[in-house]
Amino acid sequence: MAVWGTGVSYSERVDWVEELIEWFESLDPHTYGVEIPNCPGWTVANMVAHVAIDGFDWVTLATHPPALGVGAVGRARAAFPSDGGGELLRGTLRSFLGLLRSHDGEDGCHYPFWAEQSYVSWATHAVTELGLHRVDVQHALGVESAVSEPQGEVGLEWTVAAVLPVAARLVDDEPPGSVRVVVEGCEAAALGVGEPLVEVRGTAVDLLLRLWNRGGAVEVNGDTATVDWWAALMAREFQHPTPS
């Protein structure tokens, strides 16, 4: 497996989470009606509600054993008003941030994807998801977005090793071959199983964006349709219905 992002400490990841929370907290409510092209059918308000709900989900899943997590999430969401979002974002995400800061990264907890069952996995998850959704909102508002290369490495490692393989298990049309993912100067990683059908090469940030169907100037050598399949997978399987 590639070693992208391994030099980034837990405390750095948590600091990034706090910076991203502050960015969402600072959004002008007057922008809430703007549509999000990267998430068809959503507005900025829907995105704010989505990340606020994430705060509920992340705290609940991390603090319950695996067998109880799904039911606990359902009960926690019942406490979230249907018109919540902007009003609750600070509370839910700040509670999650407090949970991260109250633990060391190696402290054990439930984590639902293929990664360490510890708080460093939750910090990595939050950095990547909140960072991608900030890109979504910035794109919608016509603001130049920037993800640092260290954040891109952390997010790419999580995407290739922890998340997309789990999402692929939920469908029955996975391509019969793998994608070779290459960042210059790093060990390559395989996405999928079987012989490589295609190689994608670029910076960690561009590869992260490409695998999440958000652009990214990457070099593709081989079966482009296989890359497109992986890039569309998360939206296809996990994009929530439009939040109220």
* Distance in angstroms (rounded) separating the CA atoms of residues 158 and 154: 6
All structural domains of the chain with their residue ranges = 10-149, 168-238
> Which CATH number is 10-149's, of 1.20.120.450, 3.40.1440.60, 1.10.10.10, 3.30.1360.120?
1.20.120.450
pTM recorded for the entire structure: 0.93
Helix residue ranges, H only, the chain: 10-25, 44-62, 66-77, 86-101, 119-141, 149-158, 164-168, 204-211, 224-238
For the segment 138-193, what is each residue's pLDDT rounded down to a tens digit? 999 999 888 999 999 999 999 999 999 999 988 889 999 999 999 988 888 999 99
Would you state the pLDDT for residue 37? 94
- CB-count exposure of residue 184 (10 Å: 0-12, 13-18, 19+): exposed
Would you state the pLDDT for residue 71? 92
Largest pairwise CA distance in the chain: 50
Residue 242 has pLDDT above 70, yes or no: no
Residue 218 has pLDDT above 90, yes or no: yes
Residue 132 has pLDDT above 80, yes or no: yes
For the segment 74-124, what is each residue's pLDDT rounded down to a tens digit? 888 888 876 777 888 889 999 999 999 999 999 999 999 999 999 999 999
The pLDDT mean for the chain works out to 91
